A and B are shown apart, each in its own frame.
Chain A
Amino acid sequence: MNNRLKVLRAERNWSQADLADRLKVSRQTVNAIETGKYDPSLPLAFQLARLFEMRIEDIFTPE
């Protein structure tokens, strides 16, 4: 699964730790999602979509 998380985060000048705090997950989780090593659960994907005010499919795209 590809995602635009790194770009979206950079646009807002958030560090991985900032994003992790907002999502209430660890920084490692954010890093793993950004690097494509881990696909988030549906609740976390919805949380991300709400945070960036986008649809899930605008953040995540299938490979």
Chain B
Amino acid sequence: MTATRGTFITGIVFLGAMAGLLGGFNLHWSREPVFPLYGILIDVLAVPALIYVLLYVRRLKVAATDEFAQTKKRLAAQTGIVIGFGLFAVSGIVPMIFPDAYTSFIGTLDGAHEGFLMGRVLGMAPFVLGLIVGQVVVWTKYR
């Protein structure tokens, strides 16, 4: 732990501000009839700088956290992904085991758009649950 948490947070804020400004300006320029030349020049200069700052902030993050914190985060992430895939697989089996319930559920959806939204939510939910389980596992192991 050779950097303070404050330095890391400052780095994150700076990176966020830089990315936000660049994104905002690009959005503004892309709405103009022709993407301005100075915008392209700024992008060419700013994107490498943004990548450099991103890598630097990553180094700050490693320097600001000690090995125990990293171990906890790694365990939480690994557990979360495994549990997430497990739950995702289980959710895929549900229509095979309960075909009637599945069919009636699909029938309640109001068209393809709602089906698409429901699919996005249900596809993401196991992984969100997995991440929560990962945090709980770490908390119970190291509390």
Cα distance A29–B1 in the bound complex, in angstroms: 11
Asked, given contacts A24-B1, A24-B2, A38-B71, whether A29 binds B141 with beta carbons under 8 Å apart, the answer is no
Cα distance A40–B66 in the bound complex, in angstroms: 11
Interface contact A25-B67, CB-CB below 8 Å:
yes
Which residues of the other chain, A, contact B2 by a CB distance below 8 angstroms? 24
User: Looking at B2, B67, B68, B69, which has the most chain A CB atoms within 10 Å of its CB?
Assistant: B68
Which residues of the other chain, A, contact B71 by a CB distance below 8 angstroms? 38
Cα distance A41–B67 in the bound complex, in angstroms: 8
Interface contact A38-B1, CB-CB below 8 Å:
no
Tell me the residues in window 1-52 of chain A with beta carbons closer than 8 Å to chain B beta carbons: 24-26, 28-29, 32-33, 37-38, 40-41, 44
Residue of B nearest to A33 (CB): B68
Residue of B nearest to A43 (CB): B67
B142 within 8 A of A: yes
Shortest A21–chain B CB gap in Å is 10
Asked, given contacts A24-B1, A24-B2, A26-B1, whether A32 binds B142 with beta carbons under 8 Å apart, the answer is yes
